[in-house]
């Protein structure tokens, strides 16, 4: 709950907001992704999906998050 946020060791991190929301690899939560809230605000992906996203998106590409 620090105002400075928190640090994780995640690969393939793409920042999507000025406030520090990222799309990144989260191998520790793969089995819960899409079923439970396992993030503090970031968008967690499997390592394979995160690698694809990292290699595919470009600066300025729009994203839409649907819950």
The whole-angstrom separation of Cα 6 and Cα 53 is 23
**How many C-beta atoms lie closer than 10 Å to residue 64's C-beta?**
4
Contacts of 2 by beta carbon, 8 Å cutoff, 6+ apart:
none
Look at the alpha carbons of 29, 30, 32, 38 in this order and tell me if their dihedral is positive or negative.
Answer: positive
Catalytic residue among 24, 25, 26, 45: 24
Domain annotation for the chain: domains and CATH numbers:
1-67 (2.40.440.10)
pLDDT digits (tens, 9 = 90+) for 10-59: 789 999 998 888 999 999 999 999 899 888 889 999 999 999 999 999 99
CA distances, 25 to each of 3, 6, 47 (Å): 23, 16, 5
What global pTM score does this model have? 0.80
**Is 24 annotated in the active site?**
yes
Catalytic residue among 42, 44, 45, 50: 42
């Amino acid at each position: 709950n620090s105002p400075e946020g928190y640090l994780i060791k995640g690969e393939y991190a793409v920042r999507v907001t000025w406030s520090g929301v990222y799309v990144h690899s989260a191998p520790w939560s793969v089995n819960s992704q899409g079923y439970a809230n396992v993030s503090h605000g970031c968008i967690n992906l499997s390592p394979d999906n995160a690698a694809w996203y990292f290699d595919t998106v470009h600066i300025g590409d729009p994203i839409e998050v649907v819950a």
